[in-house]
Amino acid sequence: MASESVTNIDDVIALSRDFYDDVKAWLKDNTLTEMLEYKAYQNKDVLGPNYRKDQWYYEKLSNFKSKFMGIKGFYIRFRVDKPLRDVIRKIDGEVEYIDNQMKMLDNLLITARTRVKFYEDIMFLISNFTYGNY
């Protein structure tokens, strides 16, 4: 969101939609890494970069969700400050959209968190192996 002051709900919605478009574009271009067989993850040159990339993906999703929450808070505050019927209708539509986006991000966050935990479990398992036939 821009740092300029906005007082018109249409300006706020336009700024918000720019952010929504940026999030959609990022989600289209970025995904979790492809799951490999366990044996491949025994190599630190495979495990390390995949772990970091998926951890970065998780952090980015968390950042998006927190920004959506901030935008939603701004809309709710705007709704209280400007209780006009047409403004309230617009705000309610935007808040509903934000809620849907946050639900989608929650699903992606669960998947990413599970993947990061999977890597951490593998690192724990490997660090506790005794070298030999395994």
User: Hey, where are the domains in the chain?
Assistant: 43-127
Gap between the Cα atoms of 84 and 28, Å rounded? 37
Residue 123, C-beta contacts closer than 8 angstroms, at least 6 positions apart: 47, 51
- Indicate if the pLDDT at residue 6 is higher than 60: no
pTM assigned to the model: 0.83
C-beta of residue 70 within 8 angstroms of C-beta of residue 114: no
Residue 5 has pLDDT above 80, yes or no: no
Quote the CA–CA distance of 9 and 73 in Å, as a whole number: 14
For the cut 80, the answer to whether the pLDDT of residue 3 exceeds it is: no
Give 24-33's long-range contacts (Cβ < 8 A, gap of 24+).
26/60, 26/64, 27/108, 30/57, 30/60, 31/57, 32/57, 32/111, 32/112, 32/115
Is residue 87's pLDDT more than 80?
yes
Give pLDDT tens digits for 18-59. Answer: 999 999 999 999 999 999 998 898 888 999 999 999 999 999
Taking phi over 0 as left and psi of -120 to 50 as alpha, with beta for the rest, 34 belongs to: beta
Residue type, 52: R
